[in-house]
Structure 1
Amino acid sequence: MNDEKFNDDRGFRVHTLRENVKDRALRWISRTIALTLLLLASGCAMVGVRHVAQKDYATQRRSDVLSARVLSDSTVQSLNVIALNRDECAANFVRCTNTLLYSDGLDDERRLSALAELWLAFAIQSDRAKQGETISDTALDAYLQSARYAYAYLFFTARRPGERVFETRQSQVLNFYNYATQRAVANFFKLLPKLGTEWDTTSVAGWRLLKPSSDVYLGSGDRIPHDLIPAEGLRFSGLRNSYRRDGFGSEFVAIGATPSNAGPWRESNYVPVTAVLEFPGDTLQSVLDTRDVRVHANNPYLDSTIALDGQTIPLAANFTAPYGVWLAQSGFAQESLRSLFGRGGLTKPEVLLMQPYDPNRLTVIMLHGLASSPEAWINVVNEVMGDEQLRRTYQVWEVYYPTNVPAPVNLMQIRKALDETLHHFDPSGRAVASNHIVLIGHSMGGVIARLLVSSSDDKLWSIIQERPNLTGEQKQKLRQRLAPYFQFEPMPQVTRAVFLAAPHRGTPVAQWKLARWIGGLIRLPLTLLEEGKNIANAAQGKNTEPGTPLRIPNSIDNLSNEDPFIKASSTLPISPNVRYHTIVGVYKSKGPLAESDDGVVPYVSAHLDGADSELSVPSWHDVQETPQAIIELRRILRLHASLLRCLWQDGASELDPGKPACTASQP
């Protein structure tokens, strides 16, 4: 009995001991958990760290509502400071923006930049308009709110834009402003036809739109374009580079009506425009309170800055976009081929101004080659207009002419078109644009360019086959009829020329079977055939009655090294007042340079004695498109401008090729 009791007591004690151990363990665990929770609750949490890849770091710093369709880290952090988050702002946008606007927990820069992004996010979400449609008032109001807060951040906070120039946040806010401006201005533009010209203010989406301020001129003579294309989203194939100027404002291509003038000139009706939204006010609060907005439409060729809030701000610009859109919509490639084979298209030369006429810029005139068009100068013109120094100094004109007619006819008609264009824009001939012109010609255009600066004297009359026994009166009539084609003097306005792959002495390629076959397909204008018939009859002393036109040489015939006109004209002297340069392609080299060619034109035909410079480029015949040729053209244009500055400083009126007015450094 006693043994049984002992065993029972021992079992009870063991059981009790186990229970005690278990209880103590549970209490320890409970205390540990409680202590951990207490530590976490008291803010003594452990901090983890991890490395972020370089690309992820850059993405996180730069991501915003425009680049990634998410709020930027800066805006999210600003919301965190005032106990808000993205979800709360999405659920109650008005409460979120009001809390942000009136909270004392943020300085002006953080508050305004966050508001600019939040309103832009709301605008993008509300903007359901398809291309060409008017956006809703809700979206338009949000874009204007975003632009206004960005405008206030940039100009009405303690620091000026120049003090934040290296800050990512300012770049983001500038992008918010420019994009909001783009959408708002594109929408305003659609309202202009309804408003006409006799208005000062109008109401739009709860805002008072003040009449725009603009110095934009379109070639049609209008100042209101019929189309306005945002340049930001445009990308071009065929153009090697795209030239922009970073700055303030939104970039557009303004397209005017097609000019309907009777002359041979055509001013550019594709022009760059930089739009700026101004919110009137003298203080931060007045800007935030205003519901007025004014559009400034600036011509970036004339304006590189804009004055806002007493500050001079650099203007953004896109100089490539108008040129690219113009070329893309021109249809030059098809038209030039139709013209070559006499199937319609161009019949007379046109002088195309790449920007509205500017009397204070020097003029560069470019002439394309056979079966070509202004598209031959795609990258040349873009590189000239993209170079800031050259853009400030020059304007580019392109001569677009039918390449099926004989060289003497084209020469006469191009000279007439240029003379009429110069006289139209500058009757007195005293403008900077009318003097010290630079001619640049490629291939057949180079041949014509050389003749435009040459003197014919009496050297071309020898190619006219006239009957020996013509009377004096008959010879005089024949010379009068032929004088426009065979009697000419250099253009006095031109003082420099560049010839690229120009067959001054012709090319044997024009005699190849394929070239003769193509030449046989070329049709000349009927009026030219009749003129050829009349000239041929006059040369024989016959009456000039209508009849079956005789075959006269076409443009391919004139490019032959056996052509009488080419042979005679290649010896004509270039004006002593003109400095000239040659650029030749070397595609096939048989040893010495003199034995090379560009696949079409032999070096000996493209070379000219007395040139200021000659550059040979490893290239096929289209040498004008090579980077080396473009760099050389830019060098020549810089040199030309530099010498002219010296000339004008010395008070001289003529540029003596042998004695520069002063020493000019060659860029």
Structure 2
Amino acid sequence: MPALAACLLVAGCQTLGLDRDDRMTVSTRIDGLRLPARPWATTREVISMLGLEEACSSSGPICADAILDASDPMRPGVRLIAAADVLFLHGRAATGDARTQALTRCGILTHRYLFGPNLPGRFGPLDARSQMALRLHNACTSGLVQDVVDRPQAIAWRVDERRFPRSAVERLELAAALRPKGLRTRQIKDGIGAPAVAFGRTEEAVGAFPAQPFALPVTVQLVVDAEGNASLLATDASREASVATVFGDIPLARDLSAAYASAAIAFEEELDMWRLLRGAPDGDGEPQIRLLAPIDYHKDVVLLVHGFASSPMTWANMVNELLGDPRISDRYQFWLARYPTGLPFLVNRQGLARTITDFRERGRLSPYHPQPPMVIVGHSMGGVLTRLLVTESGTALWDAAFTVPPDALQADAADIEAARGLFMFEPLEGVDDVVLIAAPHRGSLMAEGMMARLVRRFIGGPRDVLDYLVRMTLGHPGQVQPEVRDNYLAGGPDSLATLSPAQPVSRAASELPTAPGVGVHSIIGILDPEDAARGDGVVSLQSASWPDGAEYRVRGGHDLQTLPETITVLKRILLARLPVSQPTPQPATAE
């Protein structure tokens, strides 16, 4: 009940699930279509023309050898595809090494058809056999990935070491075997290769990015070396790429939704909304950043900051649908912020600023490597935090809390310094734009209502994070503004209290301007066009409006971040930041 109340009050809830298909379904389905359980008509025609019905009645490998070795003027390209078809069917029905050997031979034959020069009997890309070659190649590659899932040593496989270390990847899993539940769309691109998810765990912290599980989108290619040996290569699929074949460049197949759903579910299981509301993540109260792909310093960063009583799961459909547009996925990387939503927003602003700065500095390639520009998107209370991250406080917040300036304050030096860090701050560097979605800049009356009082009973309090305010108020109460004195003596406000329009420090924060040069985009919900002043039903139009930047009004309630209209607006904002000329997809290595 409390979590439901919190969900209804401010944040909005979204859940994801993940089902897995059985092995047989995966091994027979390519590009969303089920492959036939018998040889293609063209394969049966080849067998008949070569008079190999008897040889092909017992064993798939024997049949394939007979097709390839028959003394007949039939062109090699035609033979290759027929033999590959027979080997695929044999491998699909076989088990163990026999399955792997058949699928490997199938992959090598189709690889020669797609990549090898000077092959008589190979026609254009629209020829039926050319289409069969691509489908069989993908099917045999997918079957080999499935073998690696079942038996990791079945066939040699490696990853693109430029993007993530092989030692960190624990297993591969076919994206076709994963069926996300809770996403409106599935972002798939057909092409060559087998879309998969690389699961693993980083063992060393990078800034505030701790050792954690990951699920990354990859495309698995079957590559053949000069000696004719086949292996699997998993490459990062977060950016569109293509390979050069005899038919021209063919895009690599990819499935971003399976990886994103897997990653989001892992994050949610590790630290869900309820735990974020009850207390601090991992015991130390510091916000964290989660990644959906390896850091790419050639892409701008979009940092997503969720709201009160929420978690990164709230961005599920937004991120999934944005990643489906290659103009976005090729130029942007998405980082997810997590923070304990029960703490006051100034505490979380301070923690987020420290986390972002530390993460970016420690994760940079070198001290001389420029940091990519950052866009911060915040929903609800996350929108308030986002705005404060690009704000210079001056003395406004300090004056709302204390009656004397820092230099005149009588208290322990460490306590004064802690208070100065909380109430006085500079804007975060490297942020070009902020997008504020349903942000209660001037608070929400619902933070003072009956539901808020119910939820407040279950919020994890600030504990000792504001104990210095208690000591300063006890020691010299006259130095603390009367409006906040009792609250500080009680240990400080919780997050809901700081969303109240009557909270003095919050009132002062609502008047602080954003830093010059930062683009501000406000997305505001209008629940009832006949009563626009009501806003989204939680945050009024007056509270959500910001005097600077652009304003976009969307028909809907407080869960704006889940709506297709909001996602469309955010896509326009992100695309408008990009140069007019877009880069061509990066080529991938086909060995």
TM-score range for the pair, normalised by the shorter chain length = 0.7 to 0.9
CA gap 1:644/1:405 in 2 versus in 1, 3 angstroms: farther
- The structure number with the bigger radius of gyration is 1
* 1:99 corresponds to which of 54, 58, 66: 66
Q: Deviations over 1:555-590 (max 9, x none)?
A: 111111212222110100111111111111111344
8 Å contact from structure 1 (residues 585, 619) kept in 2: yes
**Which has the higher mean CA deviation after the structures are superposed, 628-637 or 294-303?**
294-303
8 Å contact from structure 2 (residues 113, 119) kept in 1: no
Shift of 1:627: 1.0
Higher relative contact order (CA 8 A, sep 6+): 2
Matched, 1:438 2:375: yes
**Which has the higher mean CA deviation after the structures are superposed, 440-449 or 633-642?**
633-642
**Which has the higher mean CA deviation after the structures are superposed, 471-480 or 179-188?**
471-480
Q: Which residue of 1 aligns with 2:161?
A: 215
Question: CA–CA distance in 2 between the matches of 1:251 and 1:160?
Answer: 31
CA gap 1:644/1:421 in 2 versus in 1, 3 angstroms: farther
State TM-score, norm by structure 1. Answer: 0.74
Question: CA–CA distance in 2 between the matches of 1:157 and 1:109?
Answer: 11
Q: Which residue of 2 aligns with 1:67?
A: 35
Question: CA–CA distance in 1 between the matches of 2:327 and 2:407?
Answer: 59
8 Å contact from structure 2 (residues 263, 292) kept in 1: no
8 Å contact from structure 1 (residues 461, 486) kept in 2: yes
Q: Which residue of 2 aligns with 1:505?
A: 442
8 Å contact from structure 1 (residues 333, 372) kept in 2: no
Question: CA–CA distance in 2 between the matches of 1:142 and 1:152?
Answer: 16
**Which has the higher mean CA deviation after the structures are superposed, 379-388 or 529-538?**
529-538
Matched, 1:474 2:410: yes
Return the structure number with greater strand share.
Answer: 2
Partner SS, residue 460 of structure 1: helix
**Unaligned stretches of 5+ in structure 1?**
1-61, 128-135, 195-203, 282-289, 543-547, 646-667
Question: CA–CA distance in 2 between the matches of 1:392 and 1:161?
Answer: 38
Q: Which residue of 2 aligns with 1:76?
A: 44
* 1:273 corresponds to which of 218, 222, 247: 218
Question: CA–CA distance in 2 between the matches of 1:179 and 1:239?
Answer: 26
* 1:241 corresponds to which of 185, 190, 194: 185
Q: Which residue of 2 aligns with 1:384?
A: 322
8 Å contact from structure 2 (residues 398, 405) kept in 1: no
State TM-score, norm by structure 2. Answer: 0.82
Matched, 1:617 2:561: no
Q: Which residue of 1 aligns with 2:92?
A: 124
CA gap 1:524/1:111 in 2 versus in 1, 3 angstroms: same
Matched, 1:170 2:110: no
CA gap 1:161/1:474 in 2 versus in 1, 3 angstroms: farther
**Which has the higher mean CA deviation after the structures are superposed, 380-389 or 209-218?**
209-218
Q: Which residue of 1 aligns with 2:586?
A: none
Shift of 1:239: 1.6
Shift of 1:367: 0.5
Equivalent runs, 1:88-487 vs 2, <5 Å: 89-93=56-60, 95-103=62-70, 104=72, 106-127=74-95, 136-156=96-116, 164-188=124-148, 212=158, 214-215=160-161, 217-218=163-164, 222-261=166-205, 263-266=207-210, 269-281=214-226, 292-301=229-238, 304-306=241-243, 313-332=250-269, 335-342=272-279, 347-426=285-364, 431-432=369-370, 434-466=371-403, 472=408, 474=410, 477=413, 479-487=416-424
Equivalent runs, 1:555-574 vs 2, <5 Å: 555-574=495-514
CA gap 1:278/1:311 in 2 versus in 1, 3 angstroms: farther
Question: CA–CA distance in 1 between the matches of 2:222 and 2:288?
Answer: 38
Shift of 1:183: 2.7
Q: Deviations over 1:380-419 (max 9, x none)?
A: 2222322111222111111111100001100111111011
* 1:631 corresponds to which of 564, 568, 575: 568
8 Å contact from structure 1 (residues 455, 489) kept in 2: yes
**Which has the higher mean CA deviation after the structures are superposed, 574-583 or 241-250?**
241-250
Question: CA–CA distance in 1 between the matches of 2:253 and 2:519?
Answer: 37
Partner SS, residue 582 of structure 1: strand
Question: CA–CA distance in 1 between the matches of 2:554 and 2:510?
Answer: 23
8 Å contact from structure 1 (residues 401, 410) kept in 2: yes
Partner SS, residue 201 of structure 2: coil
For these two proteins, the number of residue pairs brought into alignment is 541
Question: CA–CA distance in 1 between the matches of 2:364 and 2:65?
Answer: 59
Matched letter for residue 190 of structure 2: D
Question: CA–CA distance in 1 between the matches of 2:296 and 2:347?
Answer: 30
Q: Which residue of 1 aligns with 2:8?
A: none
8 Å contact from structure 2 (residues 306, 337) kept in 1: yes
Q: Deviations over 1:344-369 (max 9, x none)?
A: 76632001122111122111111100
**Unaligned stretches of 5+ in structure 2?**
1-29, 480-487, 583-591
Question: CA–CA distance in 2 between the matches of 1:451 and 1:122?
Answer: 62
CA gap 1:244/1:331 in 2 versus in 1, 3 angstroms: same
Q: Deviations over 1:305-358 (max 9, x none)?
A: 345689755322222221111122333596221231239766320011221111
What percentage of aligned pairs have identical amino acids? 27
Matched letter for residue 576 of structure 1: P
Q: Deviations over 1:176-205 (max 9, x none)?
A: 21222233245457776x8xxxxxxxxx7x
Question: CA–CA distance in 1 between the matches of 2:77 and 2:119?
Answer: 9
Cα RMSD (Å): 3.4
Q: Which residue of 1 aligns with 2:4?
A: none
Matched letter for residue 519 of structure 1: R
CA gap 1:535/1:254 in 2 versus in 1, 3 angstroms: farther
8 Å contact from structure 1 (residues 370, 403) kept in 2: yes
CA gap 1:407/1:490 in 2 versus in 1, 3 angstroms: same
Question: CA–CA distance in 2 between the matches of 1:348 and 1:535?
Answer: 23
Equivalent runs, 1:40-59 vs 2, <5 Å: none
Question: CA–CA distance in 1 between the matches of 2:427 and 2:274?
Answer: 30
CA gap 1:499/1:461 in 2 versus in 1, 3 angstroms: same
Question: CA–CA distance in 2 between the matches of 1:506 and 1:349?
Answer: 22
Shift of 1:171: 2.9
